[in-house]
């Protein structure tokens, strides 16, 4: 069986392998130093138009290599359909879904989410702001001069869980503490279950999986979501909204489940609908929490930026504090873009599995069916031919770039994906929730900057040192937990 499995591995001998030059290619090295490996391969191969591959030394993956594509190859595949370069299949492998039982991606869900967010973004932003204010008011000290010190991920995960839930599902669920606890846990469990499964060789993983505690929890959570979504699903089905011919009207709604519903196929099942809700939460919560935690560390280790962003935020918040004009938060947008450039949540994005043999038009490179490809997001973002002094954090970098290139300034905003800015992926399978994420991030930071004096704390003392380099576990950033956010109420 093992030999058979090996033989089925797509033949990739024509693509060079990048390894760590000192010969330590262990699992531990891969998990902690992947950024370096990708940068080496990017400079050596991608920069001269060649693809390279890296071994994935983690058991349980159904593929052995990741093929990292140069920019022109990524441009070629960015609009190819999910049926040819499939994110759905890639995520099945990355999260060892066949073993863990994590929910699969519905074919319609990305588009439904993207269109729903696009059509409702104004209302979404108003709701987000109200929920953020509400959450901060009830979870942070309100007395002038009082001080809170918070572990960022421990604070922002529940904040974003609450805010996202209040937007996606109505108060039946968003006011239920058990639902909030479970939704905050999905993402951790999905990664944890995949890691636990991969400790076993693939031929044993299927037998062992049902006994692994994290897998059992994930499977139980999936059933829990379905049970909780059932009344909502039945209500939506009975409402006959899917029979409304005008697609625009179908996708209008106060809550995410309504506009998502508008984009579902007519025969969507309860399983598919509840899996989509679960996957949306998984995709939304930890990514946004990591991004804001990293950004606040970047901000508070660059004191000159704090003043600039605070002044801008004060201009953007209305005199009665009732609303925030996001169009005025240009410097904040540029700052967040720089933070994402240097410490993206994912080292690579555009993970896809090729579903048929494919030959690139731009180079003639052949990829056999079943190959996993990806785009070197972090390496491109630190390429000196693209960014001057790329290793330095420069909070005004994108502001200057936008001033210098007025015609293309719109492509430099945080939510826009381009080949040099792959933090949210690229093309028709790029993150469908990114404009919501961007507005959420800006609102949270603007509200924090105008309501509190912010600083960093390390080991109980104010931290005034340099910006720390962010660590990665496998391909995902780990905001350093030794820095707490200190807030003094203004
Ligand atoms: C700063 C926060 C976020 C980051 C950095 C991020 C990043 C990404 C990336 C890189 C992808 C894969 C795209 C590709 O490979 O081309 C993705 C997919 C996705 N994102 Fe986001 N995202 C964020 C927030 C959100 C939010 C708030 C939502 C929902 C409201 C969301 C929903 C999704 C969904 C549904 C997918 C497709 C994944 C799937 O179906 O498995 N994301 N995101």
pLDDT tens-place string over residues 174-225: 999 999 999 999 888 888 899 899 888 778 888 999 999 999 999 999 999 9
Residue 2: what pLDDT? Answer: 45
What is the CA(143)–ligand 1 centre distance, in A? 37
Kindly list the protein residues whose Cβ atom lies closer than 6 A to any atom of ligand 1. Answer: 87, 91, 105, 109-110, 113, 279-280, 283-284, 287-288, 291, 345-346, 349-351, 423-426, 429-434, 436-437
- Is the pLDDT confidence value at 37 over 80? yes
User: In which residue are the tokens 């030999």 written?
Assistant: 3
What is the CA(171)–ligand 1 centre distance, in A? 24
Residue 407: what pLDDT? Answer: 83
What is the CA(362)–ligand 1 centre distance, in A? 28
Q: Which of the four pLDDT bands, split at 50, 70 and 90, describes residue 10?
A: confident
What is the CA(431)–ligand 1 centre distance, in A? 4
What is the CA(82)–ligand 1 centre distance, in A? 15
Return the residue whose CA atom lies nearest to atom 35 of ligand 1. Answer: 280
- Counting residues of the chain whose pLDDT is more than 90, the rounded percentage is 80
Determine the atom of ligand 1 nearest the C-alpha atom of 280. 35
Residue 1: what pLDDT? Answer: 42
Residue 107: what pLDDT? Answer: 84
Residue 204: what pLDDT? Answer: 85
Q: Which of the four pLDDT bands, split at 50, 70 and 90, describes residue 7?
A: very low
Determine the atom of ligand 1 nearest the C-alpha atom of 351. 15
Return the residue whose CA atom lies nearest to atom 32 of ligand 1. Answer: 433
Return the residue whose CA atom lies nearest to atom 30 of ligand 1. Answer: 433
8 A C-beta contact, residue 15 and residue 51: yes
Residue 445: what pLDDT? Answer: 98
Determine the atom of ligand 1 nearest the C-alpha atom of 436. 27
Of the residues 110, 157, 424, which should be mutated to test ligand 1's pocket, given the most ligand atoms within 8 Å of the CB? 424
376 class by beta-carbon count within 10 Å (0-12 exposed, 13-18 middle, 19+ buried): buried
Could you give all domains of the chain from N- to C-terminal order, each with its CATH number? 1-94+347-383 (3.30.43.20), 95-346+384-419+423-489 (1.10.630.10)
- Is the pLDDT confidence value at 129 over 80? yes
Determine the atom of ligand 1 nearest the C-alpha atom of 285. 27
Return the residue whose CA atom lies nearest to atom 6 of ligand 1. Answer: 424
pLDDT in tens, 337-346: 999 999 999 9
- Counting residues of the chain whose pLDDT is more than 70, the rounded percentage is 97
User: What ipTM was assigned to the predicted interfaces of this complex?
Assistant: 0.98
- Is the pLDDT confidence value at 5 over 70? no
Q: Which of the four pLDDT bands, split at 50, 70 and 90, describes residue 243?
A: confident
318 versus 1: the higher-pLDDT residue is 318
Residue 188: what pLDDT? Answer: 86
Determine the atom of ligand 1 nearest the C-alpha atom of 349. 15
| Distance (Å, whole) CA 41 – CA 25 | 14
Comparing 42-51, 213-222, 240-249, which segment has the lowest mean pLDDT? 240-249
Residue 59: what pLDDT? Answer: 65
Comparing 203-207, 305-309, 375-379, which segment has the lowest mean pLDDT? 203-207
Sign of CA dihedral 167, 170, 175, 177: negative
What is the CA(430)–ligand 1 centre distance, in A? 7
Of the residues 82, 118, 433, which should be mutated to test ligand 1's pocket, given the most ligand atoms within 8 Å of the CB? 433
pLDDT in tens, 81-98: 888 999 989 998 888 898
Q: Average pLDDT in the 109-129 region?
A: 93
| Distance (Å, whole) CA 373 – CA 368 | 11
Q: Which of the four pLDDT bands, split at 50, 70 and 90, describes residue 8?
A: low
Residue 307: partners with Cβ closer than 8 Å, 6 or more residues away: none
- Is the pLDDT confidence value at 451 over 90? yes
What is the CA(307)–ligand 1 centre distance, in A? 31
What is the CA(163)–ligand 1 centre distance, in A? 17
- Is the pLDDT confidence value at 3 over 80? no
Q: Which of the four pLDDT bands, split at 50, 70 and 90, describes residue 57?
A: confident
Return the residue whose CA atom lies nearest to atom 15 of ligand 1. Answer: 350
CA 32 to chain CA centroid, nearest Å? 19
What is the CA(282)–ligand 1 centre distance, in A? 9
Return the residue whose CA atom lies nearest to atom 43 of ligand 1. Answer: 431
What is the CA(87)–ligand 1 centre distance, in A? 11
Residue 9: what pLDDT? Answer: 67
| Distance (Å, whole) CA 75 – CA 71 | 6
pLDDT in tens, 390-439: 999 999 999 999 999 888 888 999 999 999 999 999 998 999 999 999 99
| Distance (Å, whole) CA 67 – CA 358 | 13
- Is the pLDDT confidence value at 254 over 90? no
Greatest alpha-carbon span in the chain: 70
């Amino acid at each position: 069986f093992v030999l058979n499995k090996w033989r089925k591995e797509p033949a990739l001998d024509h693509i060079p392998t990048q390894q760590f030059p000192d010969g330590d290619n262990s699992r531990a090295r891969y998990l902690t130093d992947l950024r370096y490996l990708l940068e080496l391969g990017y400079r050596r191969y991608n920069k001269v138009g060649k693809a390279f591959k890296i071994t994935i030394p983690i058991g349980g993956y159904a593929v052995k290599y990741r093929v990292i594509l140069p920019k022109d190859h990524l441009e070629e595949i960015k609009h190819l359909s999910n049926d040819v370069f499939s994110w759905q299949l890639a995520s099945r492998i990355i999260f060892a879904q066949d073993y863990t039982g994590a929910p699969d991606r519905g074919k319609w869900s990305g588009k439904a989410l993207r269109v729903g967010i696009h059509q409702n973004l104004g209302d979404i932003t108003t709701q987000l702001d109200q929920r953020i204010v509400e959450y901060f008011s009830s979870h942070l000290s309100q007395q002038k001069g009082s001080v809170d010190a918070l572990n960022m991920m421990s604070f922002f995960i529940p904040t974003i869980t609450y805010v996202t839930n209040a937007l996606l599902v109505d108060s039946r669920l968003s006011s239920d503490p058990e639902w909030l606890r479970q939704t905050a846990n999905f993402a951790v469990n999905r990664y944890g279950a995949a890691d636990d499964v991969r400790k076993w060789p693939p031929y044993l993983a299927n037998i062992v999986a049902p006994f692994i505690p994290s897998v059992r929890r994930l499977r139980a959570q999936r059933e829990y979501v379905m049970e909780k979504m059932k009344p909502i699903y039945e209500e939506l089905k009975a409402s006959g909204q899917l029979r409304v011919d005008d697609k625009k009207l179908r996708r209008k709604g106060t809550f995410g489940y309504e506009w998502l519903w508008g984009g579902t196929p007519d025969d969507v099942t309860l399983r598919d609908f509840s899996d989509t809700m679960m996957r949306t939460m998984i995709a939304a919560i930890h990514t946004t929490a990591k991004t804001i935690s990293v950004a606040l560390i970047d901000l508070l280790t660059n004191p000159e930026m704090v003043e600039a962003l605070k002044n801008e935020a004060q201009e953007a918040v209305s005199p009665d504090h009732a609303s925030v004009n996001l169009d005025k938060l240009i410097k904040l947008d540029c700052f967040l873009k720089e933070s994402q450039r240097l410490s993206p949540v994912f080292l690579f994005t555009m993970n896809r599995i090729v579903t048929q043999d494919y030959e690139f038009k731009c180079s003639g490179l052949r990829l056999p069916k079943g190959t996993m490809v990806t785009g070197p997001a972090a390496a491109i973002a630190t390429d000196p031919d693209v960014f001057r002094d790329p290793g330095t954090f420069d909070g005004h970098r994108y502001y200057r770039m936008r001033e210098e290139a007025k015609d293309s300034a719109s492509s430099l905003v945080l939510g826009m994906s381009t080949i040099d800015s792959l933090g949210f992926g690229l093309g028709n399978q790029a993150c469908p929730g990114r404009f919501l994420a961007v507005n959420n991030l800006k609102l949270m930071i603007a509200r924090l900057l105008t309501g509190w004096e912010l600083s960093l704390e390390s080991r109980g003392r104010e931290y005034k040192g340099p910006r720390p380099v962010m660590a990665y576990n496998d391909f995902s950033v780990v905001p350093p937990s030794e820095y707490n956010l200190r807030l003094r109420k203004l």
